[in-house]
Chain A
Amino acid sequence: DVVLTQSPLSLPVTLGQPASISCRSSQRLVYSDGNTYLDWFQQRPGQSPRRIIYRVSNRDSGVPDRFSGSGSDTDFTLKISRVEAEDVGVYYCMQGTHWPPITFGQGTRLEIK
């Protein structure tokens, strides 16, 4: 099974400052079709998860452009250029390249300092 390791697990950030979350995979996530199926989800307190980035770097509709995704092979990053109060929550990476099983990272809790 593919193991996704996120760091840090807790991320205190000052409003207006940048934030970065790493997701490292135990296997390369490039699929045979050339795509890399690595997504990022945001889960605000008391809400369902919401996909914000798909296939490494594609932002979902309605997601502010302060969110960006990057990476390749086994190393991926979610960046928030300037953290706002509404960004508080837990962020998960997920891989859909080698499944079953589909696997998630442990989650990174972003809080305002």
Chain B
Amino acid sequence: EVQLVESGGGLVQPGGSLRLSCAASGFTFSSYWMGWVRQAPGKGLEWVANIKKDGSEKYYVDSVKGRFTISRDNAKNSLYLQMNSLRAEDMALYYCARIDNGATHDYWGQGTLVTVSS
């Protein structure tokens, strides 16, 4: 059974940093692209970033470029999102997702909440 478990969310001040993690199990992690999608309170879904199977390619939504870094450790079956210079508009529930052919997000975690507030 595919499982994705996010962690690392919490309360951070504007301008602060946070590192999200996603522990994957139930599939061959190194065979899939992975990504992060976020959902602000009461709002819709917004794609944040994707990373290739071997970590050699990374893509970001414009609003986080230069501030967020997606990475992975295939030996640990783990996906990460380093978030720096956090802003109020980054406050959201962050979901980790497995990506199949055609950028389709076929499995999602339960999400980890990031709150940006002073």
Size of A's binding interface in residues, CB under 8 A:
27
Interface size class of B (residues with CB under 8 A): 20 to 34
Q: Considering the complex, give the chain A residue whose CB is closest to the CB of B65.
A: A100
Q: Considering the complex, give the chain A residue whose CB is closest to the CB of B6.
A: A48
Q: Considering the complex, give the chain B residue whose CB is closest to the CB of A58.
A: B104
Q: Per-residue CB proximity of A93-108 to B under 8 Å, as 1/0? A: 0101101111111110
Complex contact B45–A104 (CB within 8 A): yes
Q: Determine the main DSSP class of A at the interface with B.
A: loop
Question: A35 interface residue, CB < 8 Å from B?
Answer: yes
Complex contact A99–B103 (CB within 8 A): yes
Tell me which residues across on chain B come within 8 A of A106, comparing CB atoms: 44
Contact of B104 among A39, A43, A50 (CB under 8 A): A39
A43 and B100 CA atoms in complex are apart in Å by 19
Tell me, rounded to whole Å, the shortest Cβ–Cβ distance linking A53 to chain B. 10
For B95, B105, B107, B110, which residue has the most chain A Cβ atoms within 10 angstroms?
Answer: B105
Tell me, rounded to whole Å, the shortest Cβ–Cβ distance linking B61 to chain A. 5
Question: B27 interface residue, CB < 8 Å from A?
Answer: no
Q: A37-B102, A37-B103, A97-B102 are in contact. Are A103 and B47 (CB under 8 A)?
A: yes
Q: Per-residue CB proximity of A69-106 to B under 8 Å, as 1/0? A: 00000000000000000000010101011011111111
Contact of A35 among B37, B59, B102, B105 (CB under 8 A): B102
Contact of A48 among B44, B103, B108 (CB under 8 A): B108
Complex contact B47–A104 (CB within 8 A): yes
Tell me, rounded to whole Å, the shortest Cβ–Cβ distance linking A3 to chain B. 13
Complex contact A102–B106 (CB within 8 A): no
A103 and B106 CA atoms in complex are apart in Å by 15
Question: B46 interface residue, CB < 8 Å from A?
Answer: yes
A54 and B101 CA atoms in complex are apart in Å by 10
Complex contact A31–B102 (CB within 8 A): yes
A-B contact pairs, 18 of them (CB 8 A): A31-B102, A41-B45, A41-B105, A48-B95, A51-B107, A54-B100, A54-B102, A55-B102, A94-B104, A97-B102, A99-B50, A99-B103, A100-B61, A101-B61, A103-B47, A104-B44, A104-B46, A105-B44
Spell out B's residues near A (CB within 8 Å): 35, 37, 44-47, 50, 59-62, 95, 100, 102-111
